[in-house]
């Protein structure tokens, strides 16, 4: 009886929470009307079993309550119940968030999945790119967000007005922009017209831009001044640091107290190099594995390293057992800025002999092979643990074998991107790029189906030499027709549903056997992944030791 009573009370409590929700739950028959009645709506397309959706739920609810006061509604759609509606709006993963300004003006939500970030982002979306300010509205606007930019220029200065407008249009998702032509306000704020003041809730609170009033200079000023002198690297901030375009210095420490202490110690170093190097602490307990990506030894804390984000070069401060002081770190950063330190390069040994049709690349021979101006080089960036890479392997070997007659013009190569530092931006595995002869600064990424025929066509179409891997082969037309037939069959198979790469027919029995083994292995991996997903679906969120 008691258990029944407790269960009943629990259900009543859940019902009360649901009734009190400020998030509007929409369905196929209510969605269009709701979007039509509101000028601005943020809609979340979710699945109840999705761990990331569960983690977002309380943040989304909090944001909805705050934004309700600003008449910016937040809505959600259960895609397991409203599959047709979700398909209509191109939902392919969960959660997907979209900003609606009517039925025809839809943009993806690109902010962070935290209440504060959602509130900030949607507040910006509700305002014009540049808000016109006066003496009555200036003070409130200055504190409307973590970072606010206000331009001061004469009412007749159309050029500055247009320039600032372009900056605001490009960055409106990230910052609030205001402007005033009141000369007295400019004088009061210590800004010479035309100029810009950046107000922030951290560090010194305010920075003034009085350089040449041009778009590029203003954007660079914002990029430098809007980032804390010593911030914190995490999943919510990592992309911003990478997008800043200047080197990032990591301070690894395990406890908040240690991170705060080191931030205080190294503040003078950060101040000295502001605008040249960004500084940030990082939780070594949660994200310690990232130290390995910077060629530091994982587990030895505290630690310090600089990443040249544009070139993806790493500069670890070694040895790690030395204490991090203002003097030791300061000298290291001084030498880095002066170009006196060589980047640390992680590399496997150069193979004594290339075995097999695919050329093995490591960091130490990357430039000699991939950047060889005389050859078209197709390179696969893979990870040994990647199931998709394993499935691709036999087809990639077959492709390399087909190109063996063109060895003076084309190289088919691969590199283990987990064991070698490469100068390429790799966002997932496998990543495939073609470096055409004579155009090494403009690699062409591959995004097609992972079939031998499609890869060969890609090399032919984008390489300098237009090498045709099938030219001169026996029964060329029949082989191509069979490949096309198999690829078409793959499109209708369960491979696509499980996100498995499509399998192309092998050229020999030996390769065919490898393909079968790869498919079996992949099927096993998918089966295990489904099991893991079922377990993970009961958790509130997924834990990640990554940025």
CATH classification at residue 298 = 3.40.30.10
Are residue 333 and residue 236 in the same domain, yes or no?
yes
Are residue 254 and residue 195 in the same domain, yes or no?
no
**pLDDT score of 245:** 84
**pLDDT score of 406:** 95
Are residue 34 and residue 111 in the same domain, yes or no?
yes
Are residue 367 and residue 308 in the same domain, yes or no?
no
**14 has pLDDT over 50:** no
Pairing of β 431-435 and β 74-78: unpaired
Give the chain's domain count.
4
**192 has pLDDT over 70:** yes
**373 has pLDDT over 60:** yes
Are residue 237 and residue 314 in the same domain, yes or no?
yes
Threshold 0.85, pTM exceeds: no
pLDDT band at residue 104 using 50, 70 and 90 as cut-offs: confident
pLDDT, one tens digit per residue, over 517-529 is: 443 444 444 334 3
86 is catalytic: no
**218 has pLDDT over 60:** yes
Residue pair 316/296 in contact (Cβ under 8 Å)? The answer is yes
**pLDDT score of 521:** 47
Are residue 376 and residue 452 in the same domain, yes or no?
yes
In a domain, 114, yes or no: yes
Mean pLDDT of 107-136: 91
Mean pLDDT of 245-259: 95
In a domain, 244, yes or no: yes
Are residue 235 and residue 201 in the same domain, yes or no?
no
In a domain, 512, yes or no: no
Mean pLDDT of 258-266: 97
Choosing from 222, 253, 262, 389, the catalytic residue is 389
**pLDDT score of 472:** 57
- Which of 403, 434, 462 is the last residue before a domain boundary? 462
Choosing from 341, 386, 467, 526, the catalytic residue is 386
**485 has pLDDT over 70:** no
Are residue 247 and residue 287 in the same domain, yes or no?
yes
Separation of alpha carbons 133 and 131, rounded Å: 6
Are residue 106 and residue 134 in the same domain, yes or no?
no
In a domain, 508, yes or no: no
**pLDDT score of 530:** 34
Are residue 140 and residue 222 in the same domain, yes or no?
yes
In a domain, 502, yes or no: no
**188 has pLDDT over 80:** yes
Sequence-distant contacts of 267-272: CB under 8 A, at least 24 apart = 267/229, 267/230, 268/326, 268/330, 269/326, 269/329, 269/330, 269/333, 270/229, 270/230, 271/229, 272/330, 272/333
Choosing from 35, 40, 43, 53, the catalytic residue is 53
Mean pLDDT of 118-138: 92
Mean pLDDT of 455-484: 74
Q: Which residues pair with 305 in a beta bridge?
A: 250, 316
In a domain, 156, yes or no: yes
Are residue 164 and residue 194 in the same domain, yes or no?
yes
Are residue 264 and residue 312 in the same domain, yes or no?
yes
**405 has pLDDT over 90:** yes
Choosing from 40, 41, 47, 50, the catalytic residue is 50
79 is catalytic: no
Domain of residue 150 covers 127-226
Mean pLDDT of 293-303: 94
């Amino acid at each position: 009886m008691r258990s029944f009573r407790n269960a009943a009370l629990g259900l009543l409590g859940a019902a009360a929470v649901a009734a009190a929700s400020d998030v509007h739950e929409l369905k196929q028959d209510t969605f269009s009307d709701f979007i039509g009645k509101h000028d601005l709506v943020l809609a979340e397309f979710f699945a109840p079993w999705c761990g990331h959706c569960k983690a977002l739920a309380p943040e989304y609810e909090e944001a909805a309550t705050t934004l309700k006061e600003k008449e910016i509604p937040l809505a959600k759609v259960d895609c397991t119940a409203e599959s047709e509606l979700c398909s209509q709006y191109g939902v392919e993963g969960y959660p997907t968030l979209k900003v609606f300004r009517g039925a025809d003006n839809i943009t993806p939500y690109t902010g962070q999945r935290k209440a504060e970030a959602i509130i900030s982002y949607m507040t910006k979306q509700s305002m014009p790119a540049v808000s016109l300010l006066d003496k009555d509205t200036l003070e409130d606007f200055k504190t409307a967000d973590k970072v606010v930019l206000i331009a001061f220029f004469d009412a007749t200065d159309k050029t500055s007005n247009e320039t600032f407008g372009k900056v605001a249009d490009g960055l409106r998702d990230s910052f609030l922009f205001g402007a005033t032509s009141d000369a007295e306000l400019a004088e009061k704020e210590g800004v010479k017209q035309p100029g810009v003041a950046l107000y922030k809730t951290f560090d010194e609170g305010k920075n003034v831009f009085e350089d040449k009033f041009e778009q590029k200079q203003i954007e660079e000023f914002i990029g430098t001044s809007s980032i804390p002198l010593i911030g914190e690297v995490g999943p919510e901030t990592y992309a911003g640091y990478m997008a800043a375009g200047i080197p990032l210095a990591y301070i690894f420490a395990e406890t908040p107290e240690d991170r705060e202490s080191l931030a205080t110690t190294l503040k003078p170093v950060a101040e000295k190099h502001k605008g040249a190097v960004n500084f940030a602490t990082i939780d070594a307990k949660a994200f310690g594995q990232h130290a390995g990506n910077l060629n530091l030894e994982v587990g030895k804390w505290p630690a310090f390293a600089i990443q040249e984000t544009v070139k993806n070069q790493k500069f670890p401060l070694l040895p790690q057992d030395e204490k991090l002081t203002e003097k030791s770190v300061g000298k290291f950063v001084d030498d880095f800025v002066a170009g006196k330190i060589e980047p640390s390069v992680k590399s496997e040994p150069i193979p004594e002999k290339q075995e097999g049709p695919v050329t093995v690349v490591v960091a130490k021979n990357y430039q000699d092979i991939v950047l060889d101006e005389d050859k078209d080089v197709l390179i696969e960036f893979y990870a040994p643990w990647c199931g998709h890479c394993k499935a691709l392997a036999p087809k990639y070997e077959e492709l390399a074998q087909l190109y063996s007659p063109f060895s003076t013009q084309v190289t088919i190569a691969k590199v283990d991107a987990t064991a070698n530092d490469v100068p390429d931006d790799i966002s997932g595995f496998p990543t495939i790029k073609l470096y055409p002869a004579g155009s090494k600064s403009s690699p062409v990424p591959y995004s097609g189906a992972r079939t031998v025929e499609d890869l060969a066509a890609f090399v032919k179409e984008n390489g300098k030499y237009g090498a045709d891997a099938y030219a001169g082969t026996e029964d060329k037309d029949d082989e191509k027709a069979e490949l096309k037939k198999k690829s078409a069959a793959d499109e209708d198979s369960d491979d696509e549903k499980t996100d498995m790469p499509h399998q192309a027919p092998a050229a020999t029995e030996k390769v065919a056997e490898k393909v079968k083994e790869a498919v079996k292995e992949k099927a096993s991996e998918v089966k295990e992944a489904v099991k893991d997903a079922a377990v993970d679906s009961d958790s509130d969120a997924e834990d990640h030791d990554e940025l």
